[in-house]
Amino acid sequence: MAAPAQSRRYTEIVTKTFYIETFGCQMNAHDSEKVIGTLEHEGYMRVEDEADAGLILYNTCSIRDKAEQKVFHRLNEYKKLQGEGKKFAVLGCVAQQEGEKIFDRAPYVSLVSGSASYRNLPEMLVRLEAGESRITGLDDRQTEETFDTEFTSRTNPHRGYITIVEGCDKFCAYCVVPYTRGKERSRASNSVLSEGRRMADAGFTEIQLLGQNVNSYRDPSGKMSFAELLAAVGEIAGIRRVRFTTSHPRDFTRDIVQAIDAVPTLCDHVHLPVQSGSTAILKAMSREYTRDWYLERIAWIKGAKREISMTSDIIVGFPGETEQDLEDTATLLEEVGYDAVFCFKYSPRPNTPAITMADSIPDEEKARRLQVLLERQREVQRKSYARHLGQVMEVMVEGHNHARNQVVGRSSQNKTVNFTTAQPILPAMGNYLPVRITQTFPNSLVGEAVTV
């Protein structure tokens, strides 16, 4: 009876297809890689078009209201696909934040899970396949366990993420993360290192260590500090670049700079979000440091042997922010000399302490302040990028711009470098090449490959 067996197999293949869409930060992007790996291990096949998928997953972000609105907009679009036998799952931060309310708003959704529950996905999938609806993974935010899986399906074959810290215990007044990703928990150093070694064996040359607060890392086995872990990852044979994000100024210790000094594979770049240059606003935000305290950490970084590139995040229009506070932020940008700054308009978020403060600054005024900072920062970068003119730097190939006959790559400082090469065949992705910088812009560098 070959025919029925075959058709059963065919049905199984067709029903076990999935499509996933990801919004939000690098943590979310990497969570999706782990979710994809888990689904594939459970016999699902990924498809690139939602029309072909039996299961549609949406990995969501709720950091600002705009991100959250996108989710509900997308869920409304899903409505059109209802009735085709498809199942829907909402994952990530909006799932954790809105919980079962998502079922009321979008009854065709069958599964709602926050990131702290992803390790229960195989069991939730079995229930989904059995026809259960209203399946939730929302109760695990206080867990000690990380979502540590051997089934990660990384999208880029040369550089990949490793989560070392999940969740956050900082409770900044504006931030939803402690409520969506739960209690802070670190992954054991030997588990991080063995994943790093596996990646190196598979041909990866760049590793980015991830956490909402990577530098508050506390090894559950008590073996290593964050700086020691950083150095150990940098010493894995075959690994040429190690990055880490995001660092919290409160936990930024001098030994991190010493590790960058000592281990050449640790990239000369630190992302250290300040959020505001005004001590009064930092206090209102519960950031637990002052402007001077932050600048002291910057002085450590500036004192390193290699020149370390610095980048930051800023929130404008936090409740009570005055013109003087804004000016304090602008002068801080100039004093530090950041190479990139990500500026956001303050967005009140549910459950956060700041939700009780009046959102006193109108949206147009927030937009104006954002513009003021971006213009001041552009001038900082115009000058700071110019220092690279004539330098030769190592660039990792990330893509090709055929229209311009240019190669697109990234420097160790995380800067985009567009360059030409004298060779008739363009260098392959993941290659490292020395490039001489011939032109500079406020956001990118242009150069030519140096023939060796």
Contacting residue, 349, 366, 388, 410, with ligand 5AD by CB under 6 A: 349
In Å, how far are 62, 196, 201, 299 from 237, measured between CA atoms? 38, 10, 9, 32
Q: Is there binding between residue 115 and ligand 5AD (CB under 6 A)? A: no
Q: Is 346 in the site for ligand 5AD (CB under 6 A)?
A: yes
> Binding partner of residue 315 among ligand SF4, ligand 5AD, none, CB under 5 to 8 Å per kind?
ligand 5AD
Residue among 22, 113, 278, 347 that touches ligand 5AD (CB under 6 A): 347
Tokens of 181: 């990703």
Question: Between 54 and 92, whose beta carbon lies closer to ligand SF4?
Answer: 92
Instruction: State yes or no: residue 314 binds ligand SF4 (CB under 6 A).
Output: no
Residue 62, interface with ligand SF4 (CB under 6 A)? yes
| Interacting span for ligand 5AD (CB under 6 A) from 52-60, 300-308, 340-348, 416-424 | 340-348
Q: What are phi and psi of 6, to 5 degrees?
A: -65, -45
Question: At closest approach, how far in Å is the CB of 195 from ligand 5AD?
Answer: 24
Does 20 bind ligand SF4 (CB under 6 A)? Our answer is: no
Shortest CB 65 distance to ligand 5AD, Å:
8
The answer to whether residue 56 forms part of the interface with ligand 5AD (CB under 6 A) is no
Closest approach of ligand SF4 to the CB of residue 77, in Å: 20
Contact 296, 335 (CB under 8 A): no
174 lies in the site for ligand 5AD, by CB under 6 A: yes
Binding mask 244-273 for ligand 5AD (x = CB under 6 A): -----------------------------x
Query: What is the distance of C-alpha 116 from the center of its chain?
Result: 16
Give the residue, chosen from 39, 63, 214, 257, that forms a contact with ligand SF4 under the rule CB under 6 A. 63
Quick one: 55 or 343, whose CB is closer to ligand 5AD? 343
By Cβ distance, which residue is nearest to ligand SF4?
A: 24
Smallest separation, CB 335 to ligand 5AD (Å): 19
CB of 226 or CB of 346, closer to ligand 5AD: 346
Using CB under 6 A, which residues numbered 75 to 94 contact ligand SF4?
92-93
Taking CA atoms, 341 is separated from 23, 206, 274, 376, in Å, by: 20, 23, 10, 11
- 215 interacts with ligand 5AD by CB under 6 A: no
Bridge partners (DSSP) listed for residue 449 = 435
> For ligand SF4, which residue of 17, 18, 19, 28 counts as binding (CB under 6 A)?
28
Task: Please name every residue paired with 416 in a beta bridge, in sequence order, or none if there are none.
Answer: 410, 444
When binding is defined by CB under 6 A, the residue of 293, 300, 344, 432 that contacts ligand 5AD is 344
**Smallest distance, ligand SF4 to C-beta of residue 43, A:** 27
The answer to whether residue 354 forms part of the interface with ligand SF4 (CB under 6 A) is: no
Site of tokens 């549609």:
56
Token digits of residue 431: 């290659």
Asked if 210 interacts with ligand SF4 (CB under 6 A), we say no
Q: Is 288 in the site for ligand 5AD (CB under 6 A)?
A: no
Give the count of beta carbons closer than 10 Å to the beta carbon of residue 324.
9
Q: Does 277 bind ligand 5AD (CB under 6 A)?
A: no
Task: Report the partner that residue 61 touches, choosing among ligand 5AD, ligand SF4, none (CB closer than 5 to 8 A by kind).
Answer: ligand SF4
Q: How far is the CB of 91 from ligand 5AD (least distance, A)?
A: 19
Residues that bind ligand 5AD (CB under 6 A): 63-64, 174-175, 273, 275, 313, 315, 344, 346-347, 349
Residues that bind ligand SF4 (CB under 6 A): 24-25, 27-28, 61-63, 92-93, 176-177, 180-181
